[in-house]
Amino acid sequence: MTRTDRVAPPVTVVVTGASSGVGRATARAFAAQGANVGLLARGQDGLGAAAREVELAGGRAVVLAVDVADAEAVDAAASRVEAELGPIDVWVNCAMTAVLAPVKETTAAQFRRVTEVTYLGYVHGTLSALERMLPRDRGVIVQVGSALAHRAIPLQATYCGAKHAIKGFTDALRCELLHDGSGVRVTMVQLPGLNTPQFDQVATTLARHPQPVPPVYQPELAARAILWATDHPRREVYVGEPTPLVIWGGRLAPGLVDRYLARTNYEAQQTDEPIPADRPSYLWEPLPGDRGAHGAFGDAAHRRSIQFELATRRKLTATAGLILAGAGALARWSRAR
């Protein structure tokens, strides 16, 4: 076999939060591209199902039941992935938990728990990835974020605070990697509301069933964006039509957005379906069973996003913009004549 005929070894990917939702869809998407995947999460049932999907797609899977709030456990999991699958090429931080409730109804212990999982879990994963990637001077770390990393909304102070912290942490790390001239790259993928099992198991004090703020998208769109971000050196990737609107609206008119969200977002985050006050949640322990990637809002969820398609085709978007600008100038000139 000649040098050009040699087949590159499979990429090794670690996905935290891989048992359900975006993490589950992402693990499946990487496996479909031929990658081997280390699956980190707490729930054994979901991890087992995720491993079967990875293997059906043609990849190898290593299952690691880990709470990402435990830094030592995350690092041990990374060592096992490298021992069984080879050097880690991509690390995707996706594990999260949340409390959906007004601040006045959320306890200090709940804030601490969400912070330990949703923020410090990303820190722990990033540190484990860096320990292995920096000596090799290569690798990609993907921080799965949200439009809420830029613009907070009511009822989600625990989650928004953690996502804001992840953005600050990632911005600082990116500067340090640039300073060092490192070949390791970090990017953040900012997502819209998604149809995941999160809303069936989130801790909440609401009387009605939580829902993602519409418009809602399927988690496979998020997985596509994460794969794309792995191969393209973008600082941040925005996904879904509402994401840039939320981010830029919050920057340009924060007070106006405050009042709009105060008026609309309590209702926007709840269905008409009542839920019992003692509904179990995943906050402290994983719930039994395999939750899969999808939630209960599939009928309203979009699989594609025009915004994301344009964001991944900058030359086409720029050309279209120039054509539109030229057409506008010509129209103004014609009216002046």
CA 322 to each of CA 59, 245, 305: distance values in angstroms, whole numbers, following the listed order = 43, 22, 22
User: In terms of DSSP bridges, do strands 61-65 and 90-93 run parallel, antiparallel, or are they unpaired?
Assistant: unpaired
Of 167, 138, 191, whose CA–CA distance to 26 is shortest? 191
Beta bridge partners of 204: 100
The one-letter code for the residue type at 23 is G
Q: Strand ranges (DSSP E) for 154-217?
A: 184-191, 203-204, 208-210, 216-217
Per residue, what are the HEC states of 195-213?
Answer: CCCHHHHCEECCCEEECCC
Task: Catalytic residue, from 159, 217, 238, 282: name it.
Answer: 159
Core vs surface per residue 92-125: b (16+ CB within 10 A) or e: bbbbbbbbbbeeeebeeebbebbbbbbbbbbbbb
Residue ranges of alpha helices (H) inside 7-67 are: 21-32, 44-56
Round to whole Å and give the CA distance between 168 and 247.
Answer: 15
CA 242 to each of CA 21, 192, 215, 254, 276: distance values in angstroms, whole numbers, following the listed order = 20, 7, 8, 16, 31
Instruction: Judge whether 199 and 211 are in contact, CB under 8 Å.
Output: yes
The reply to whether 217 belongs to the active site is no
CA 205 to each of CA 117, 196, 320: distance values in angstroms, whole numbers, following the listed order = 20, 20, 47
Helix and strand element counts for the chain (H, E): 12, 13
Q: Which of the residues are catalytic?
A: 159
